[in-house]
Amino acid sequence: MSKLNKLAMCALMVGTMFSGGQAVAQDDKEIVTVVKLLGETWFRRMDVGVTEYGKVTEGVTTKEIGPGKGDAAQQVRLVEDLIAKGVDAIAVVPFDPPMMEGALKRAMDRGITVITHEASNLKNTQVDMEAFDNDAFGAHFNDQIAKCMGEEGTWTSFVGSLGSLTHVQWADASAANAKEKYPNMKLVSAKNESFNDANTAYNKAKELLKKYPDIKGFQGGSAVDVIGIGRAIEEAGLTGKVCVYGIGMPTDTSRYLKSGAVTGISLWDPKDAGFIMNKIAHLVLNGEELKDGMDLGVPGYTNMKLKKGPGKGVLLVGQAWLDINKDNVDEYQF
């Protein structure tokens, strides 16, 4: 059997492997999306997609929940509550994927469909959806920073937390890219944790500017890192002298992009990610086959790559990243 056929068979089994192969009832199904931090701009935008899927799709109800602060233990407790309530499907963006393994296994043992996002290392998931290849995205960040820095000088990176898998993947891929392609760039104090808090990113950026007065580049991993870093850059009078790239929301970062305190942001639209996670959950609930190259009907998710996951599930990977700077930021009203 070819590798692709094996993957297709694995995908076909996804809808039944954790429910004893039983047929799925056709009454309304409840899909709950559990995000890292409820109320953050990124996840407010994601909720638009989560809600939209429930509105446009018959036979399913959707909602989004999450902890009030970036805390893995609180997020796990929310998942445990959903297991006790017996929801049909849980879509999770884990704050710390390894900490979520036990809860997600219990969910699947109860016959609950589990879909994840930003968690390609999770074993206890039926499908992990990634908006793009994370290593390629991290290298892309570094190429942008390197171009801005003239391919030389000191730079640093931020992550929401060391447990936030995709943030660490981007930081590590960026560092590897610099090591391979830009020998005159020096990485210092890599992977500073902001805990998805702009004020924490701001304070850490100020510390780094003091410790490394010749620093020329910052990479942000959390959606709010560049806001805090940009604020620190402005206050230090270094606008246009220090390069700042990272994940960010256009409306949140617009002021800093236009002032030059933030050089550029790259992202995927969380609205689309929320919609696609719920669509995949619904497909799995209905026992439908997931295929390599499948079109999920949203730009960036029209040619999904199907890969074997680290557990019994699969990865579905899109091509959905966007690059935004001061010249095009007004085109994105979210």
330: part of which helix (H) or strand (E)? none
pLDDT at 25 over 60: no
Pick the CATH number of 134-267 from 2.40.110.10, 3.40.50.2300, 3.20.20.210, 3.90.1150.10: 3.40.50.2300
Q: What is the CATH number of domain 3-132+269-322?
A: 3.40.50.2300
Domain boundaries, the chain: 3-132+269-322, 134-267
Question: What local confidence, expressed as pLDDT, does residue 15 receive?
Answer: 45
Q: Tell me which residue of 311, 285, 309 sits closest to 111, measured CA to CA.
A: 285
The pTM assigned to this predicted structure is: 0.86
Residue 193 tokens, joined? 């944790």
Give yes or no for a contact between 267 and 247, defined as CB atoms under 8 angstroms apart: yes
Give the pLDDT band (50/70/90) at residue 16: very low
Q: Tell me which residue of 248, 253, 252, 282 sits closest to 266, measured CA to CA.
A: 248
Residue 173 tokens, joined? 């891929």
pLDDT at 47 over 90: yes
pLDDT at 120 over 80: yes
Rounded mean pLDDT, 185-196: 97
User: What mean pLDDT is reported for the chain?
Assistant: 93
Fold identical between 3-132+269-322 and 134-267?
A: yes
Question: What local confidence, expressed as pLDDT, does residue 19 receive?
Answer: 40
Question: What local confidence, expressed as pLDDT, does residue 14 receive?
Answer: 52
CB-count burial class (<10 Å; 0-12, 13-18, 19+) for 71: middle
Interval 128-138: pLDDT, tens: 999 999 999 99
How many whole angstroms from its chain centre is CA 207? Answer: 27
Give yes or no for a contact between 90 and 114, defined as CB atoms under 8 angstroms apart: yes
Question: What local confidence, expressed as pLDDT, does residue 7 receive?
Answer: 52
Q: Tell me which residue of 150, 221, 215, 148 sits closest to 187, measured CA to CA.
A: 215
